[in-house]
Structure 1
Amino acid sequence: MRDVVFPTAKQASYDAYGYSAAVKSGGFLFVSGQVGADAAGAAIAEPSAQFTQAFANLAEVLDAAGCCFDDIVDVTTFHVNMYEHFETFGAVKAKIFPEPPFPNWTAVGVVNLADPALLLEIKVTAKLP
């Protein structure tokens, strides 16, 4: 049995693609990859704004599970054009995680994501409070 989590009013978009926003298991929250798309599902064009939106979408999933960024223990990010946008991404990331202790982090360069306009996907594991 999976204890699934969905942000308010967004379950239909996850159902359409056959996955859950997050799953609670063994005291942890496993969050599916979040991207910088607006409420209509369109990718935000400007990189910094897209990265900020990806973290905002992640925050919605965490909040739906009663978690916050401080509960995150592991992060994996997938980057299109990693070297071109990594400094911009780092600036946005520093606003989300401004001081230690930081979660562990793996950054992976990829050729593309589900939408060619997307530059980033964020997947995390958080400790449930």
Structure 2
Amino acid sequence: MATEKKELLNSSKAPEPVGLYPHARRVGNLLFLSGVGPRERGSKNIPGVELDENGNIISYDIEKQCHSVFQNVKYILEDAGSSWDSLVDVTVFLTNMQDDFSTYNRLYAEYFKENQPCRTTVEINKLPTPIAIELKCIATIESPSQS
């Protein structure tokens, strides 16, 4: 059985990873994205988040974080040669399902009105940075011979 080429991909627009991992990895015609949060590239700024002097969350705006994380996913997809409409599976991690799900679900429906990938949403206790949402995505991507 032939070994399939695995290509590591990084976006020039999405925030830098917080560990040793790529933004995405292509295997055949599938593109696997690492967890994507709402941070802004080149800074530790998180849209809608107010932190105290110790880096603890004082307040956050889940709507601003949703818009930002969706934009970051788009950046990675586009820089990798895929697109928003090519998403086939999205796993969403929320740190506060009770307070944030309805806003997130409303925005998700707006962003995914045309393309409706499979979706799983789970609540977790904490994410590695002071964010309230993170997405883990899988998309299709055309092979170079099909482009």
Tell me how large the CA RMSD over aligned residues is: 1.8
Instruction: Quickly say closer, same or farther: Cα 1:9–1:85, change in 2 above 3 A.
Output: closer
Which residue does the alignment assign to 2:46? 43
Please list, as runs of the form range in 1=range in 2, the aligned pairs for 1:75-94 lying within 5 A after superposition. Answer: 75-94=90-109
How big is the shift at 1:42? 2.2
Letter in 2 for 1:104: C
Render the CA deviation track for 1:24-79: whole Å, top value 9, x for unaligned. 00210000111111221322222101111001010000001111111011110111
Letter in 2 for 1:33: G
| Partner Cα separation in structure 2 for residue 70 and residue 52 of structure 1 | 17
Which residue does the alignment assign to 1:3? 7
Q: Give the structure with the larger helix fraction.
A: 1
Instruction: Quickly say closer, same or farther: Cα 1:50–1:76, change in 2 above 3 A.
Output: same
| Partner Cα separation in structure 2 for residue 8 and residue 114 of structure 1 | 22
Considering Cα pairs closer than 8 Å and 6+ residues apart, tell me whether 1 or 2 has the greater RCO: 1
Task: Tell which structure's C-alpha radius of gyration is larger.
Answer: 2
Q: 5+ unaligned residues in a row in structure 2: which ranges?
A: 50-60, 143-147
- Superposition TM-score, scaled by structure 2 size: 0.78
* Displaced runs of 4 or more, over 4 A: none
Render the CA deviation track for 1:75-114: whole Å, top value 9, x for unaligned. 1011101121001101221221014x51111111100101
Q: 5+ unaligned residues in a row in structure 1: which ranges?
A: none
How big is the shift at 1:125? 0.4
Identity of aligned residues (%): 26
Instruction: Quickly say closer, same or farther: Cα 1:119–1:71, change in 2 above 3 A.
Output: same
